Structure 1
Amino acid sequence: MSDSEINITRRGLMLVLSSPSGAGKTTLSRRLLDSDPELTMSISATTRHPRRGEIDGKDYYFLTTEDFGIMRNKGEFLESAKVFDNYYGTPRGPVEEALKAGRDVLFDIDWQGTQQLTENAKGDLVKVFILPPSAYELERRLKTRAQDSDEVVARRMEEASEEISHYSEYEYIIVNDDVDNTFRELQAILHAERLRLERQTGLSNFVKRLRDAL
């Protein structure tokens, strides 16, 4: 068996990144997506109206409230929630298609969404929680990005305590004190999880061919 014949098919995985706002989750998600062609971002469905420049099927799946309700009642969402006056959810179909094709799906969601995913797709999940190195640094990052008022920053700091309290529900915990180092740790986690026995669906055929050639 030559090296060119080594092509072990695998089932994709669902990589969940959660963190309090300001801990670096969005930056890390973008870097992972830009560096890894096997990784794709999960696309959510929503009942809110498209904003200027948003494309249906790329940014979100835009649904009517009625259609969203029908899908939810049929169990077609892996997770869903109401945020203010709109509904959001992750359609099961596109994610399942990606996993079967051996592609990995990245989820940028909070602990509540992660709990629902754990109930509906536990075997495919890899859950990572990103912690800030300190409360001071978290507040500094929130203020430095200059996207929010002081009032919003204060509210996000209050929310961070509740979010961080759910860290033990995750399999991997990374303290993001250096984004480059954290990025390398995430890559290592992703690489290791891809090698899990249960995800390498073509391994038994490969091993059979290997043994037959001995």
Structure 2
Amino acid sequence: MPDPSSSGRQGLALIVSAPSGAGKSTLIGRLRAEFPGVGYSISCTTRAPRGTERDGVDYHFIDAALFKERIAQGYFAEWAEVHGNYYGTPRQQVLDLLAKGRDVLFDIDVQGAKQLRANLNLGCTVFILPPTREELTRRLTGRGTDTPEVIAKRLSNASREIAQAPWFQYLVVNDDLDAAYDELRAVYLAARCAPELRPGLVEGLLRGWEEA
């Protein structure tokens, strides 16, 4: 008799977006630490590496000419120009991981999240919100890595991005980091239970019923 729990499981695409400085990277880091089996989509980008970032680990760093060539080839599941640089998600890499039952985490902007949902017709979308504009300004300034002009640009972009937040399936306000992480974690665990990720589960169970 077949065991319904052995039915193949489709991986979950967890798509997380936020304005710069909202704490998305910290929250994603905690999720990956607790659930090391979650895959991480390594994007291609035309921006230069920051700090200790490594090619092929944090991003695939490529030049603008190659990026545009790959756009024309349909290489990306999504791509966008953000803060003057290009970012894109390799399509086949994502599909291969999901087909193997591997959950994949996407750290992308609003434009990319919408493209990903439209092009692949899958994914659970989460938007991380700052509690206030003042707090977001404090966080961006506290980094000590950006000029006042860059910070002003990021705040302007944040306003437009936050206006798109209602499109997302889930909203998490990062006021208290622990509370925000509990909410992101809960969304991830609940989304893994979606019926479309377990094709054949119910049918297999019912076949066992009939055979009994």
Moved more, 79-88 or 127-136: 79-88
Taking a change above 3 Å as real, the CA distance of residues 58 and 205 of structure 1, as seen in their structure-2 partners, is: farther
What does residue 126 of structure 1 align with? 124
Residues 1:167 and 2:170 aligned together: no
What does residue 95 of structure 2 align with? 96
What does residue 37 of structure 1 align with? 36
Moved more, 87-96 or 202-211: 202-211
How many correspondences in the alignment? Answer: 211
CA distance in 2, matches of 1:171, 1:75: 27
CA distance in 1, matches of 2:38, 2:183: 16
C-alpha deviation, 1:181, in angstroms: 1.0
Aligned residue type for 1:170: F
Taking a change above 3 Å as real, the CA distance of residues 45 and 203 of structure 1, as seen in their structure-2 partners, is: same
Taking a change above 3 Å as real, the CA distance of residues 153 and 71 of structure 1, as seen in their structure-2 partners, is: closer
Taking a change above 3 Å as real, the CA distance of residues 102 and 72 of structure 1, as seen in their structure-2 partners, is: same
CA distance in 1, matches of 2:118, 2:132: 31
For the aligned residue pairs, the C-alpha RMSD in angstroms reads 2.7
CA distance in 2, matches of 1:145, 1:52: 13
What does residue 195 of structure 1 align with? 193
CA distance in 1, matches of 2:48, 2:26: 26
CA distance in 2, matches of 1:165, 1:50: 29
Moved more, 54-63 or 35-44: 54-63
Deviation per residue, 1:4-51 (Å, 9 max, x gap):
984443111211111111111110111111111231211112356777
Q: TM-score, normalised by structure 1?
A: 0.84
C-alpha deviation, 1:83, in angstroms: 5.1
C-alpha deviation, 1:211, in angstroms: 1.6
Question: Aligned to 2:135, which of 130, 134, 137?
Answer: 137
Deviation per residue, 1:121-144 (Å, 9 max, x gap):
22x211111111112221222223
Deviation per residue, 1:151-188 (Å, 9 max, x gap):
33333222211111111111111111111111111111
Taking a change above 3 Å as real, the CA distance of residues 57 and 171 of structure 1, as seen in their structure-2 partners, is: same
CA contact (8 A) 2:17 2:126 kept: yes
CA distance in 1, matches of 2:63, 2:137: 38
Query: Aligned to 2:128, what secondary structure does the other structure show?
Result: strand
